[in-house]
Structure 1
Amino acid sequence: MTLKDQSVRVVTHLSQGGDAVRIRIQNTFGSTPLVVDRTTIGHSDGQAGVTGVRSVTFGGRRSVTVPPGEDIWSDPAELVTRPDEDLAVSMYASGSVVPGQHDNALRNNYLTPPGAADHTADTSGSAFTEKVTATYLVSAVDVHNLALRGTIVPYGSSVVDGTGSTICNPGCGVKPVNRRWTDALARRITAELPPTKQLAVANAGIAGTTSAADCPQTPTAFRGLDANTRIERDVLALHGVTDVIFYYGTNDLASGCTAAPILDSYRRAFERLHAAGIAVYVTPITPRPGYSDQNNKDRYTTSTFVKQWNSCAGTCDGVVDFDQVLKDPLKPNSIAPGYDVGDGIHVNMAGQQALADYVPLAMLGSVRKGHR
């Protein structure tokens, strides 16, 4: 889509609160400079409205131009926030802008009509008449909180991105938003860890991506988004990362990769993360009934490596066995029926919560041996 002299209001969810925030605007896939004339941030009212509006600057300027293929962080904006809170980021583009977008936002965001001009300072949502389910322009939000011990980055494809997390059994009475296992993990951290061990959670899942770069059947749209190609932007460039939960491989097998290139990509990613002092916890590849016999043999080989010595044969820091959580005990190559959303791949809210509950919080946020 193209923005034409209009404003966009993106709702973004925080895992932790603090006393200031900054945002990252991305033009990663753009072929021309991206100009944003004005940006504000405030507390979302749950729909298109906002309270506590603050102006956001970039190098002290209200307007920002992001070159093609790049992204830019804003200056910090003073705003007191709480854990598990939604913020509203409002941006205005006076010209024609093709924004980068994340289609799997799993929430409503808002647009004014084309030609409506600047409504970034509006507290009312009345000017934002169009609902969209994609996130535009904003690729990260960073909260300033000196009390936090670090940031956990769940890293993977759609099983991290949150596909299925809006699906609940009829009558469950739970609002179908912010129900990814990563959201539930963040709530567990806030509720269960002491103040001196609090951590942020930054979801770095992109649906459709693979760990290995050259799986023969990877769709063209997802080439160049493999785990090692995007690791600098989506993990290493984030602030204060202490741990990664590496949940990759399901799409690799479905895209024709065997165990060898998957494991090669794992080792290279783990090495890069360790070089940055980041601990790596890995989940074995979870079930998928559409796998061929050869796929399941490669899944077994990959999982055996991950579980060896409970440390990927000494190349990672631990195992989070989501395969054990999700598999049907009667059909271990399938997801348990109570969690399956119906595609045999993704899990519902109950499955998302089960994954979050399985993560041992005590292992997170520890400085790797030999690093500070």
Structure 2
Amino acid sequence: MAVEGTAVLGRHGAGLRDNYLTPAGSGDHAADTSGAAYTSTVSSTLVVSAVDVHNPALKGTVVPFGSSVVDGIGSTNCGPGCTQLGADKRWTDDLARRIVAASAPLAVANAGVSGTTSAPSCPGMPPSVAGLDAGSRLDRDVLALHGVTAVIYYYGTNDLAYGCDGPAILASYRAVFQRLRAAGIAVYVTPSTPRPGYDDRANLARHEIGLFVSQWSSCGGTCSGVVDFDQVLKDPLKPNSILPAYDNGDGIHANVAGQQALADFVSVPMLTGAR
């Protein structure tokens, strides 16, 4: 039996570019040779469920996995009065360009979803991100992809902001790392980066996470290595804040310069040798 209704398009909210649509009710313009009918704009990117590319030259895929710090918030901010909308200046984009320049046989698949957490539940978590924690997303956004050899795990900032404590966050880390390692995927973890809005309890938890991640440079033997974005972004004069030159202005996300600094910090040979 056919069921009539309205289909909801798949949408990536942080598209960070203008995309063009025809106005509602204007009819089918799929065969148009001109773009004149496409007068409506949306900042989201409308997406298909997946794109799979067969490239025998590639030896693996690196998946940056996390929240808005992976999604790319801040990457259009190139300084006072300067915006680079649609320039693809996320640190993951910059990393992909470095990989191409180094002729490394790797692809980069950004799996950042803004607002999400590593832990499945935190006291202040908004309903809009319930069920989108790292463990719940893992199958769809990482394990279902072909050829994944490494994950850069950049989670924890929202967990702390939503009131999760260190043990709850670390329990989620261990559970996700175990599943990734069981799948033969190398896991490179970054400590939770600074955020001036954290209270003392959150900062204590952040340092607890940092100590765990740095233990033996392998999360106490549960991950493959550490990518210390905390050291890249923190202000040496105010270690719980982002360096002003890298701050998007919200104290949470990196601007264009900070995004490039994060990308430059990642070791391409480390990723190439994963597995």
TM over 0.5: yes
Aligned residue number for residue 161 of structure 1: 71
Q: Partner of 1:180 in structure 2?
A: 90
1:319 corresponds to 2:214: no
For the residues of structure 2 that align with 1:251 and 1:107, how far apart are their CA atoms?
Answer: 24
Pick one of 129, 142, 157 that aligns with 2:52: 142
| Larger Rg belongs to | 1
Amino acid at match of 1:327: K
- Contact persistence 2:77–2:84 (CA under 8 A): no
| Equivalent in the alignment of 1:133 | 43
**Are 1:296 and 2:203 an aligned pair?**
yes
Greater percentage in helix: 2
Q: Where does residue 6 of structure 1 map in the other structure?
A: none
Read off the aligned partner of 1:336 and give its amino acid letter. L
Aligned pair partner of 1:305 in 212, 232, 256: 212
Identity, % of aligned positions:
65
Out of 192, 209, 234, the position equivalent to 1:285 is: 192
Give the C-alpha shift of residue 117 in structure 1: 3.2
Matched letter for residue 265 of structure 2:
Y
Structure 1 residue 96: deviation in Å? 3.5
Instruction: With the length of structure 2 as denominator, give the TM-score of the two structures.
Output: 0.94
Name the CA distance, whole Å, in 1 between partners of 2:34 and 2:229.
Answer: 43
Q: CA separation in 2, counterparts of 1:202 and 1:177?
A: 17
Displacement of 1:347 in angstroms is 1.0
Per chain length, whose mean CA-contact separation is higher, i.e. which structure has more relative contact order (CA < 8 Å, sep 6+)? 2
- Alignment: residue pair count: 274
Query: 1:140, CA displacement in angstroms?
Result: 3.6
CA distance in 2, matches of 1:246, 1:305: 14
The Cα offsets for residues 138-157 of structure 1, whole Å up to 9 and x where unpaired, read as 24433221101111100000
SS at match of 1:324: helix
CA RMSD of aligned residues (A): 1.9
Query: Normalized against structure 1, the TM-score is what?
Result: 0.70
Check whether the contact 2:76–2:83 (CA below 8 A) recurs between aligned residues.
no
Distance 2:3 2:53 in 1: 24
Instruction: Give the AA of the match of 1:218.
Output: M
CA distance in 2, matches of 1:360, 1:321: 11
Structure 1: segments with no counterpart, 5+ residues: 1-32, 36-94
CA distance in 1, matches of 2:189, 2:3: 37
C-alpha distance after superposition, 1:217-273 (max 9, x if no partner): 100101100000011001111111111000000000000100001000001101111
The unaligned stretches of length 5 or more in structure 2 are none
Paired AA for residue 177 in structure 1: A
* 2:134 aligned residue: 227
**Paired residue type of 1:213:** P
Aligned position for 1:108: 18
- SS of the equivalent of 1:333 reads strand
Structure 1 residue 109: Cα displacement: 1.4
Q: 2:253 aligns with which of 323, 346, 352?
A: 346
Partner SS state of residue 200, structure 1: strand
